[in-house]
């Protein structure tokens, strides 16, 4: 079995390597614009779009045979939901500061939608993993010092739990890897369904 990861995220690549399944990266380039009041449906739909765009581009190759090797296309999308608001990547340092200040002393949720598509027959499975993250009470100067590192700027919700933000996390409920960008336990179970 081989996986094609429809994502440019270096964090997802690092996580996927832990499953010890051969994979390659093919970025979908599809639009991430979508309006919905349901955060879980948002990440599921965006993960479907990413996987489907890559599946479509590979359809002709799959029809010509792949040497019997099963190929799954993996699309994923992660968002942070705080006080009912969906938070993407910060637009600037003040936006990052505002997001992190909103977490201070509170619990927020990280949702990742994951879609797997069998390249040969189009069979599709989509899941949504949720992890609750509780952040310690933070002083404004601690937040500004973290933002100044630049780490928050390319991350949904303006922080990386696996990086310099880790000391500020009091607890999590759910998969740690989901907060990084790919819920490995849930993904492993989903992949097993395609092995039959």
What lies within 8 Å, CB to CB, of 144 at 6+ separation is 97
Q: Which two tokens stand for residue 139?
A: 């002083």
- The residue annotated as part of the active site, out of 77, 92, 118, 141, is 77
Q: Which two tokens stand for residue 170?
A: 């009091």
What lies within 8 Å, CB to CB, of 188 at 6+ separation is 19
How many Å apart are CA 191 and CA 93, to the nearest integer?
Answer: 38
Query: What are the φ and ψ backbone dihedral angles of 183, each rounded to 5 degrees?
Result: -75, 95
How many Å apart are CA 164 and CA 161, to the nearest integer?
Answer: 7
Q: Which two tokens stand for residue 80?
A: 């942070």
How many Å apart are CA 82 and CA 66, to the nearest integer?
Answer: 44
CB-CB contact of 81 with 47 (8 Å): no
CB-CB contact of 71 with 62 (8 Å): yes
Q: Among this protein's residues, is 77 annotated catalytic?
A: yes
| Residues taking part in catalysis | 77
């Amino acid at each position: 079995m081989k996986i094609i990861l429809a994502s440019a995220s270096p964090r997802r690549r690092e996580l996927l390597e832990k499953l010890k399944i051969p994979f390659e990266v093919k970025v979908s380039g599809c639009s991430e614009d979508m309006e919905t009041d349901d955060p879980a449906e948002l990440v599921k739909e965006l993960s479907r779009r990413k996987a489907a765009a890559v599946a479509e581009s590979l359809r002709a190759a799959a029809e010509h045979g792949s040497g019997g090797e099963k190929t799954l296309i993996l699309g994923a999308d992660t968002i942070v939901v705080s006080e009912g608001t969906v938070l993407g990547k910060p637009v600037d340092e003040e936006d990052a500061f505002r997001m992190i200040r909103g977490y201070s002393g509170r619990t927020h949720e990280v949702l990742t939608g994951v879609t797997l598509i069998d390249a040969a027959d189009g069979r599709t499975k989509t899941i949504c993993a949720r992890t609750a993250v509780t952040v310690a009470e933070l002083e404004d100067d601690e937040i500004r010092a973290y933002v100044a590192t630049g780490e928050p700027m390319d991350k949904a919700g303006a922080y990386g739990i696996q990086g310099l933000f880790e000391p500020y996390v009091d607890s999590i409920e759910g998969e740690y890897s989901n907060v990084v960008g790919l819920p490995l336990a849930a993904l492993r179970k989903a992949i097993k369904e395609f092995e039959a």
